[in-house]
Amino acid sequence: MTPPRKRALITGITGQDGSYLAEYLVGLGYEVHGLVRRVALEQPELRLGRLRSVLSQIQIHPANLDSYASIFHVLSQQRFDECYHLAGQSFVAESFADGFSTMSTNINGTHYVLAALKELQPKCKFYFAGSSEMFGRVHETPQRETTPFQPRSPYGISKVAGYHLSANYREDFGMFCASGILFNHESPRRSFEFVTRKISAGVARIKLGLASELRLGNLEAQRDWGHARDYVRAMHLILQQPEPDDYVVATGEAHSVREFCELAFAEAGLDYRDFVKRDEAVHRPAETDLLIGDASKARLVLGWQPTVGFVGLVKELVQADLELLASTTQQNPSAVHPG
């Protein structure tokens, strides 16, 4: 007899990570469910666009991270084997502008999901989306699971709180709660406000003659950038372990925004120095120190490793944006690419 299909719930399923994870789990034979804000159902072509390839195979439930009742309601209707909590306000710069809403959504949202699971489904495994932003002013380089946290943004603080909430539910109530401490992970599905996609979309606009410059903040900032498709595999592996635990997921290589620009413009046959302008308005009140992850534990215990390197990542983003913009302008010559 074939075993019953595993059932997974993904909060934040409409985002970059949520959509890749949904595709991955559907491919593994899971029954996949996702929480989305009700507004997404009113504009499905816009808000569910990243889920296009699996939309007919997954189940969507309206719920709001700010409402315990809505999360409780969904969890009272269905039993889940695994819950991936990816939803939240994820743009670090925005968290400086409005720390209150970032804290409220990210901390309370995580707490509501954990509390509802404890009440209704304490056996469901829980994945928390931790972040390298938790390290902030770093205590050692590269950073690993034992490196102390010292966040430098309201976003980082909210992630540290979520991490500790997850650890508390694990220790106090015996639930299977595990965190991935993910370093930056990108893809053509990234939103346009993040620097990688801002650059690749900017290159495409310039290449197609729709813009003449790209305004960026700190070009010397460095990040450990991987591919989101690789990182969702790690999320899944983390929940397949016999014991719940926390893992750093990273490539172990740091590159600067300047290097990203250099490669991205070169991919389109351009020199970034002719187009990139400094924009003081994009500078952040505080930057993290050098964030580089040591993913030895994930490699050793999970058998995980990234398949896409920095050069491959930059190429994929630029090629995808060139194709997207060329097809958009062909269909509607007056359309302006967002970003």
> Which residue, 172 or 280, is less far from ligand F7E as judged by CB?
280
Identify which of 291, 295, 318, 316 has the alpha carbon closest to the alpha carbon of residue 306: 295
**Choosing from 84, 155, 163, 272, which is the catalytic residue?**
155
**Residues at the site binding ligand F7E, with contacts judged by CB under 6 A:** 90, 92-93, 131-133, 183-184, 193-196, 198, 216-218, 221, 223, 257, 282, 284, 287
* Residue 323 is a catalytic residue: no
Q: Tell me the closest approach of the beta carbon of residue 14 to ligand F7E, in angstroms.
A: 15
Q: Catalytic pick from 19, 131, 132, 179? A: 131
- The C-alpha angle 137, 143, 149, rounded to 5 degrees, equals 45
Pick the closer one to ligand F7E by CB: 90 or 329. 90
Number of helices and strands in the chain (H, E)? 13, 13
Cβ proximity to ligand F7E, 226 vs 244, nearer residue: 226
Q: Side chain identity at 327, as an amino acid letter?
A: S
Strands (E) across the chain are located at: 7-11, 31-36, 59-62, 82-85, 125-131, 177-182, 185-186, 214-216, 222-223, 226-227, 247-249, 255-256, 276-278
Per the annotation, the verdict on 155 as an active-site residue is: yes
Nearer to ligand F7E, 131 or 329 (CB): 131
133 has catalytic annotation: yes
Q: Least distance to ligand F7E from the beta carbon of 331, Å?
A: 28
Rounded distance between C-alpha atoms, residue 120 and residue 110, angstroms? 15
Tokens of 221: 């900032």
Rounded Cα distance, 31 and 314, in Å: 33
Of 23, 133, 267, 287, the active-site residue reads 133
User: By the 8 A CB rule, do 306 and 242 touch?
Assistant: no
Least CB distance to ligand F7E at residue 316 (A): 16
Residue 283 CB, shortest distance to ligand F7E, in Å, is 7
Comparing CB distances to ligand F7E, the nearer of 16 and 108 is: 16
Tell the smallest beta-carbon distance from residue 69 to ligand F7E (Å). Answer: 27
Helix or strand holding residue 258 (H, E): helix 257-267
CA 279 to the chain's CA centroid:
25
Residues labelled as active-site residues: 131, 133, 155
